Structure 1
């Protein structure tokens, strides 16, 4: 749909303003879902009968006519495009009112059957935003107005994950996501009445914070020995929730305890303990850019023409992250095979990898595409690694030479990096899947399954009704297949 624009008022419209029979009923016909040709036909028909049809929406319009849209869709679209609040100033009407008026030769009385239904808004001075229930339908900026609430809900979500209560964790994260998308700071519970995904538990926490400035449950959780221990143990590279919980039950509370008690560790966990302090420090965007230059150098050296893209939170605009993700491909299908081993060899020869584990690509479209598991773990060739980042002016934002051969370094630190190689035919899906956020991707898959009867993964999109794959070369095409407005990476911070 082409965005609503201010159009020059044509000679025809100027003439009809002077000669129309019903100047007190300025009508705007919404092109959304109707199409330009039908809108043009209805405009000519109405003007031939003396109706006043406006080419552009403005505060002068009293009747908005739409076809195949809900009231919420029309109101939200008009407000987004024009900045005008239509909630009380205009009739939002189904095309049935228009056709009845054409038949009668005059504007018929607006009845309830003609009106498009709009969900009620909260009372108050602040504008209440119509909020879609799926995070993939909403624009969620990196910086928002309700950090004091979302941090509390996300802490409870993290604690639920430590208890392997996925349902509760997702509920808290969905509630936090809604608050992140609000264009204003929440001051009272009344402002939340019409918002989706806010369960009773989340509302209790929010209410307590709004009234008392803090939540007893959140603070109790934050200070609990179990939460602090699980956070420390799961922060070790190579350690998941189940392993951390098993260690906690044995009385282990920190990486130091693992060493002191002689806890057996696998190779990844050994590296995680060894470089624990470094890996707990946030990675800056400047550091990610330095690593990106080095990986780019490695990729180009072993396979000219290959493409590499910085993924994850940094692609969404974050200035800090806990690791650095790269997605690699080659425009010539099949050229990417064997690429990972060559990249790893190049990096190891230069002493840049402190640890690495590579998994092969095991995705087979015929077997794995249509029935992806809920967690969407992809099957790409991937290398989980700990990178040895030389620290100098180069990693603090200086424009100094960034060649790997440069030896004048002050020191180094360990940084987690993930390298992922994708076939070119799957690159758009891999890009979408590896951009995040985690909840945004989860909601995309949920939308695909529940609303569109499709199966979406980081490899493919499968239409379960038509029993075939939908091919895409860009993220925009995938959003279009799913019937969603395209949301750029910077606004996927659900």
Structure 2
């Protein structure tokens, strides 16, 4: 049986004579970091330490030696800071030691790529190779591989009875006011060697501790309900005295109560989700750490200062006349024009940052509220001068007014600065930008898995990712690069050519998404294919994708749905629509990774190296198929901004009693299909997709809005 299989069968093989007889009593207070360890693995390491007489502590602030399953200096430092350890600033040369393996002579391959060279997925295939050019300057810190404790070589520790019962464990250096983060391999190698190994080669990070005034003890002495002074607390914890390290049970009993919770996961963002963003900080601080969890740090409320002269003077005469949609209090974004470039775009950009934070905290109500406010502000055609204008806008309340007042006064929002400074939110944003990762999954990566960057995902969770997520990580930087309008048109021309090859020359191609709304750059390419003959759109997506793959335009097909074909291209049934789970779109579609197979020096490059890589960037492309009978609904849905789409559905529901879907419209009460585009009568059928889209707006009782007037975000 392979070592990995043996480790899986008995994942925690720590009990051995060598492990129990190793003398660790001369170590300084030791803490085992839970990062990248399961609870059982952490317990096993702690048992080995306590069995050897090590002064084990469960408060990292008391530790001078931290054992961790991490590999990089910056990560070790971040873990200490996240847990509230106060460190003195040290230079990069002061006390930092990283054990690293040297690459082979002449090997210029980045460390990150080398780590993935032998990685394999669950089917035994070589894992996707991820190369991040931004890490070129970080390779010195990233060449130490971490691994689950169950895979360490502790299983190879001999249980022979001929082993000496104790070993000298001289620790020549002083640990006073110092903390060292040491790789967990040190403990493993010490057990194998039968004696304590030097800490130097295993040290990842070293820094001086700030213990001025013992703030943790001072804060406890200020609580009236605890009648224990700091000095008496020190007396009751004899292991804090230099050179005295009794057994773990005795020390635990001697510690002051209440006892420290060992596995209480601290979630700044989850707590922040329950608080109002305005006037409060997401960032942790020393002061906050010493206060009860029920307290929060708040700033003085920004008051709206107004004088009586503002009312005496005819302020309204200096302000532009309010648009009709404001006077009529039209709440739905589909009832008004929202241009691409708003005169209030700078303030809106700040609000979008708060909205993103609400999304990452899974605050759905907050996301909807900010989306409504942002769409209303974006539709307002004048630069906002007064808070009275904001209060007049549908969907904007006193909170938005206060934010605008603060922004107008200081040219920034403190809430946004707090959010951008929060380390947890920075990581969540990075994970959220991975294709195939939503807000909920990003939070699982951060809180449940303990990952802090893309390297953690690759090193510790690659095999647990879905195929879409693996591709999202592999092409992370390329997918974030925007696509020009010229490139969007070029990709669409290629798709059109292959669609005509598998059908005929009458196939219709419509570019939707941000391109049709007038954006100069797009994050992906959205293309709708349709044909007046419904037989041609039946299973069309499969034929188009196969043709494109054959010529090498598509490198990965991540999703290929035949939902509409399977229901005979009928609009979504009302029973399925009411049950939910289908989202806004139920059409046939394919989500693919696109790459131009040709480049100027292709022949020369392949002649020199048959395995030369294509330098063209990878793009995200969505190909959607719509039957002609409901092509107007598909185009309206896929063209409009997110809030415009949402309000289109809400308007249909509350004003018409209909269920709007990109596959068509049905009456909620009876399930009857509403033929907005006149398909049932050959004389009234639309002759163009532009006409079909206009009939959808007309049939719903809405004024038709040009694509560039649906930019709600």
TM-score by length of 1: 0.68
User: Are residue 379 (structure 1) and residue 578 (structure 2) matched?
Assistant: no
Which of 345, 370, 385 aligns to 1:172? It is 370
CA contact (8 A) 1:310 1:325 kept: yes
Going from structure 1 to structure 2, the CA distance change for 1:276 and 1:301 (only over 3 Å counts) comes to: same
Query: Aligned partners of 1:259, 1:299: CA distance in 2, in Å?
Result: 37
Going from structure 1 to structure 2, the CA distance change for 1:391 and 1:313 (only over 3 Å counts) comes to: farther
Which SS does the other structure have where 1:417 is aligned?
Answer: strand
Which SS does the other structure have where 2:385 is aligned?
Answer: coil
Encode CA deviations 1:137-160: one digit per residue, 9 max, x unaligned: 110110110111111111111111
Q: Which structure 2 residues correspond to residues 404-419 of structure 1 after superposition, within 5 A?
A: 411-419=615-623
CA contact (8 A) 1:157 1:169 kept: yes
Q: Which structure 2 residues correspond to residues 296-335 of structure 1 after superposition, within 5 A?
A: 296-304=496-504, 305-335=506-536
User: Are residue 141 (structure 1) and residue 141 (structure 2) matched?
Assistant: no
The aligned residue for residue 477 of structure 1 is 695
Which SS does the other structure have where 2:590 is aligned?
Answer: strand
Going from structure 1 to structure 2, the CA distance change for 1:434 and 1:369 (only over 3 Å counts) comes to: farther
Q: Which structure 2 residues correspond to residues 150-169 of structure 1 after superposition, within 5 A?
A: 150-169=348-367
Which SS does the other structure have where 2:623 is aligned?
Answer: strand
Query: Aligned partners of 2:387, 2:662: CA distance in 1, in Å?
Result: 38
CA contact (8 A) 1:275 1:414 kept: yes
The aligned residue for residue 480 of structure 2 is 280
Which of 302, 316, 327 aligns to 1:123? It is 316
Q: Which structure 2 residues correspond to residues 218-233 of structure 1 after superposition, within 5 A?
A: 218-233=416-431
CA contact (8 A) 2:574 2:659 kept: no
Going from structure 1 to structure 2, the CA distance change for 1:467 and 1:359 (only over 3 Å counts) comes to: closer
What is the deviation of 1:265? 1.6
The aligned residue for residue 451 of structure 2 is 252
Query: Aligned partners of 1:260, 1:286: CA distance in 2, in Å?
Result: 38
Query: Aligned partners of 1:388, 1:429: CA distance in 2, in Å?
Result: 30
Across the aligned residues of Structure 1 and Structure 2, the Cα RMSD in angstroms comes to 2.3
CA contact (8 A) 2:574 2:668 kept: no
Going from structure 1 to structure 2, the CA distance change for 1:260 and 1:324 (only over 3 Å counts) comes to: same
Going from structure 1 to structure 2, the CA distance change for 1:149 and 1:126 (only over 3 Å counts) comes to: same
The aligned residue for residue 60 of structure 1 is none
The aligned residue for residue 271 of structure 1 is 471
Which SS does the other structure have where 2:412 is aligned?
Answer: coil
What is the deviation of 1:256? 2.4
Encode CA deviations 1:365-398: one digit per residue, 9 max, x unaligned: 44557637498332211111110136879xxxxx
The aligned residue for residue 648 of structure 2 is 444
Encode CA deviations 1:324-349: one digit per residue, 9 max, x unaligned: 11111111013211211111111111
Which SS does the other structure have where 1:327 is aligned?
Answer: strand
Unmatched runs of 5 consecutive residues or more in structure 1: 1-120, 394-408
CA contact (8 A) 1:122 1:193 kept: no
Going from structure 1 to structure 2, the CA distance change for 1:441 and 1:372 (only over 3 Å counts) comes to: farther
Which SS does the other structure have where 2:392 is aligned?
Answer: coil
TM-score by length of 2: 0.48
CA contact (8 A) 2:574 2:666 kept: no
CA contact (8 A) 2:649 2:659 kept: yes
Going from structure 1 to structure 2, the CA distance change for 1:317 and 1:166 (only over 3 Å counts) comes to: same
Going from structure 1 to structure 2, the CA distance change for 1:348 and 1:164 (only over 3 Å counts) comes to: same
Which SS does the other structure have where 2:594 is aligned?
Answer: strand
What is the deviation of 1:200? 3.0
The aligned residue for residue 493 of structure 1 is 711
Which SS does the other structure have where 1:126 is aligned?
Answer: coil
The aligned residue for residue 489 of structure 2 is 289
Query: Aligned partners of 1:335, 1:375: CA distance in 2, in Å?
Result: 24
Which of 621, 628, 650 aligns to 1:424? It is 628
What is the deviation of 1:230? 1.7
Which SS does the other structure have where 1:257 is aligned?
Answer: helix
Question: Rg bigger for which structure?
Answer: 2
Q: Which structure 2 residues correspond to residues 33-48 of structure 1 after superposition, within 5 A?
A: none
Going from structure 1 to structure 2, the CA distance change for 1:149 and 1:372 (only over 3 Å counts) comes to: farther
CA contact (8 A) 2:676 2:699 kept: no
Going from structure 1 to structure 2, the CA distance change for 1:126 and 1:281 (only over 3 Å counts) comes to: same
CA contact (8 A) 1:139 1:181 kept: yes
Encode CA deviations 1:421-450: one digit per residue, 9 max, x unaligned: 112212111111111201001011111111
What is the deviation of 1:452? 2.1
Encode CA deviations 1:268-314: one digit per residue, 9 max, x unaligned: 11111111110011111111111111111111111112211111111
4+ runs deviating over 6 angstroms: none
Unmatched runs of 5 consecutive residues or more in structure 2: 1-313, 601-612, 678-691
Going from structure 1 to structure 2, the CA distance change for 1:328 and 1:287 (only over 3 Å counts) comes to: same
